[in-house]
A and B are shown apart, each in its own frame.
Chain A
Amino acid sequence: MDDRIGGGVLGRLTRTVRTGVTNVEAESGLAWEDLVADWWSAAYLDGLPAGVPPRAYPTVNLRGFLGGSFPLLPTPVGSAGLEASGALWSSSAAYYIVNATAGVSVSLRLGGQAGGPSAAQSVLRMRIIRVS
């Protein structure tokens, strides 16, 4: 967020009586939902051709910062497809990567428990990005 927002946002977050997500939204001028969606995208895309701000850190070289092999390894989706069930903590994310095969389409869908609707308070979302 500091790299994206700049303008002394770290100091503004400190010099306030606001708290948590409310503080972040007020000082960044962005909704939490948008902020974290872009950040989670950047966490994987930074340094890749598809990684363009705000879906990449504007100046931070994340892969260079982390060093070594990149630790974020999305769950691969094979040519036979995938159905994966799990549970996410509030404000957490799971990553999947589809390596497409020529002539084979893939249809992506997000559901709630057992594939049904999700509870509104879960605020479940999915972002699909073409990486290459």
Chain B
Amino acid sequence: MRGAGRLAARVRAALLVSAVAGCTSQTTVAHIPLDLVIGSGDGQFGVVGSQLPTPLRVVAQAAASGLPREDVTVLLDVTQGGATLVGATTTVTDSTGSTEVRVRLGSSPGPVRVRARVADQPNVSTEFGLFGVLQPTVSSIAPTTTTAGATVTLTGTSFSPVPDHNVVLFSGVRGRVLAATSTSLQVVVPRCIPVRDVEVHMQLGVVASADTVGLTVTGGIVLEPMNVGDVIDVADDAGFECHALPGSSGTSYLAVVYSVSTVGAAQHPYRFTALASPGPVPSPPRAAQPAHAELQGPAPDPQAIWDQHVRDLEGALIRERATGPAGSIAPSVSGPAAVPAVGERRSFSVFNAQGTFDQVGAVAQFVGTRAAIFVDTLAPPGGFDIGELATFAARFDQVIHPQVTTTFGAASDLDANGRIVVLFTPAVNRLTPRGASGFVGGFFFGNDLLPSRTGSNGGEVFYALVPDPTGIHSSARSKALVASVVPAILAHEFQHMVHFNERVLVRGAPAQEALWLSEALAQMAEEVVARAYQWLGDSASDSIFRSGTRARSRQYLQRPDTVSVIVTTGQGSLPERGGGFLALL
């Protein structure tokens, strides 16, 4: 198991343990109304007796927030036609709120319907429409020479009498079927077909005829001249739309193919065709990326995984808080505390990967106007000196705090001391398995702003890793490395703190913000601070605060086709974070 995978497993366990350990009173979790939506697999055709190529995927979402819900039991059954479900018919949704089932069609052609229901909310259901068909054959086309826009007759067997069920492709471009019988189709040659020979395929869904026939197109194409910057938007689920663009030296066109589905964890097959003239028939479709079953998300990242699970755990806390016996959503105040004094010793509870809390002793090393810097007494030697800690505090006091609060909102002050505690502790280093690619640099945990919770520090705290040049607590991290990442972490985690206050404590939100948007906003805090330094003419600081967002953005742009902007597939990755950031930028 990879290092990041081990961390994910540990954090999942942590989530479960903490959900129990964190309970301080007996509460009844409210019945959360759900929606069940189709993720993918609807509308498929398959040969009778075969297994459909794409599984049927449904996603359970909270009706109020639209956020995916894990551990929802879903019942599946066939309500029409001959088919069997392959595998369990009672399934449980995963961390993306989704579950899927495969279908084997029966021996008779015809429509098939498969229903999915939420087990404990039987009125919440959705239904897939499928079709069992015989494999069609194509024997001839007439005429064999014609023009774009003309009508041709295709002859064969096992066509559908429903015209739109028949997909006739002219070298990948779909023609509209005007009339259909089981043996004959009247089809219009698309107007975008250039002068050339094309191969004509017939298929029902993905069930293609074994044979093709040839057609020579001698004219009739309608070209669509465009000026530089002109845009054509194609929104045609049936796939009839096709645009013929003229070619000239130096002309280039960008085609962006995308899905705007907001249903998480779903994949959507597509085929992009670019048919040139004159020229040979394009080679058979090549995979633009790995096939459906092989498609892998970007490599998981320890920080992204940890962020995801801390936010998940906060979500559980928020739901419990919103539905608790007191229904209390008003800010909880832990009572005034004196402003920390340099040299003051204090004990903190630091959430760990085992789902419990490390008890950390720390000493206040520097106290600014906004930041109080504590350092774990067990931090390895070779850490930050007072001057370096003062520099962190100065960044926070003078730029990060004012920029983040001005842009996003107010931080709470539960302990009424006017300070945000920044705790440098090797407990953060220990969150990263040795040898992992990437590392956890720091975090904020909303539990600290809920003083009645087990493990809460009852005030504004966030946590950062310490230099560990000899690798006592995890892989070695030099002081220079830690110093380069901590400033951006301060901005990032402070935004999470502000967000928790504004959303949960002030407004009593019943659910956590979607992870992708929560992380995008926190990254925008890094950018907001970078802009402030840029305005001040401090290019070195500007670069420090942008290095993370820049790297993540570059990773996203290298393969945007493999990254959903809105959902974390699996364990979380840096390209996902980069995509969310660029969308908000």
Contact = CB atoms under 8 A, between A and B. Distances in A.
Given A90-B261, A94-B258, A110-B234, A17 B274 contact: no
Nearest to A104: B247
A122 to B, nearest CB: 4
Given A71-B554, A94-B258, A126-B255, A109 B42 contact: no
Given A45-B254, A108-B245, A123-B260, A83 B237 contact: no
Interface string B53-95: 1100000000001110000000000000000000000000000
Interface string A1-45: 111000010110111110111111000000011001101110111
Contacts of A84: 271-272, 285-288
Contact of B268 (A1, A75, A118): A118
A11 B506 CA distance: 14
A95 B550 contact: no
A83 to B, nearest CB: 4
B228 A109 contact: no
A101 B517 CA distance: 42
A91 B37 CA distance: 16
Interface stretch (B132-140, B382-390, B559-567): B559-567
A86 B291 CA distance: 7
Interface residues of B, number: 137
A129 B285 contact: no
Contacts, number: 498
Main secondary structure of the interface of A (DSSP, over half): mixed
A4 B44 CA distance: 39
A2 B495 CA distance: 16
Interface in B433-487: none
Nearest to A113: B269
Contact of A100 (B38, B169, B194, B245): B245
With most chain B CB atoms within 10 A of its CB, the pick from A44, A67, A110, A117 is A110
B241 interface: yes
Contact of B244 (A19, A23, A36, A106): A106
B558 A104 contact: no
A107 B284 CA distance: 17
Given A10-B408, A127-B232, 16 more contacts: A15-B409, A15-B507, A17-B503, A37-B260, A50-B228, A65-B546, A91-B258, A91-B259, A104-B247, A105-B276, A107-B244, A113-B205, A115-B174, A123-B261, A126-B272, A127-B233
24 contacts: A14-B408, A14-B409, A15-B506, A16-B503, A16-B507, A41-B231, A66-B554, A68-B554, A89-B569, A90-B262, A93-B259, A106-B253, A109-B174, A110-B257, A113-B269, A114-B206, A114-B271, A116-B167, A123-B260, A124-B258, A125-B257, A127-B234, A128-B231, A130-B253
